[in-house]
């Protein structure tokens, strides 16, 4: 049975509670569905030297690759967030995550994140990163 966007959002919200974010107090959860129909989740894991922080999206993608291998293809990505007050804020994937998502996505892969007024924003990979780097 194919997962739904609602199921992915529920999983992203649940894994967000596992985030390690003592420096920013900004927790992020991600749930992805691959072409094979599998679901993987990830949360952000901060590090005191911020550059070593692992974003939720890249965490979930790494788990998918570790399980399915390097030919894994993303079909859908759902991202949630919460600050220390418990509020979600408008937040699209960072530039590094956009490029990593693009590495394993196709042009119509769907990405959903929280936008203004707590509304879900849903875009294709091409809309999220129109000129992704390719060799």
Q: Annotated active-site positions, please?
A: 57
Three-state SS string over 31-64 comes to EEEECCCCEEEEECECCCCHHHCECHHHHHHHHH
Tell which residue, 2, 17, 10, 21, has the closest CA to residue 112.
10
What number of other Cβ atoms are within 10 A of residue 126's Cβ? 15
Q: Which two tokens stand for residue 65?
A: 């690759």
């Amino acid at each position: 049975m194919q997962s739904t966007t609602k199921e992915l959002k529920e999983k992203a919200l649940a894994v967000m509670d596992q985030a390690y974010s003592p420096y920013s107090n900004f927790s992020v959860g991600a749930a992805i569905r691959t072409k094979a129909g599998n679901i993987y989740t990830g949360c952000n894991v901060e590090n005191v030297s911020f550059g070593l922080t692992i974003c939720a999206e890249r965490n979930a993608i790494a788990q998918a690759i570790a399980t399915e291998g390097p030919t894994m293809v993303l079909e859908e990505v759902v991202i949630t967030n919460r600050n220390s007050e418990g509020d979600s804020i408008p937040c699209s994937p960072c530039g590094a995550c956009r490029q990593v998502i693009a590495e394993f996505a196709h042009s119509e892969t769907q990405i959903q994140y929280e936008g203004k007024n707590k509304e879900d924003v849903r875009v294709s990979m091409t809309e999220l990163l129109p000129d992704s780097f390719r060799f």
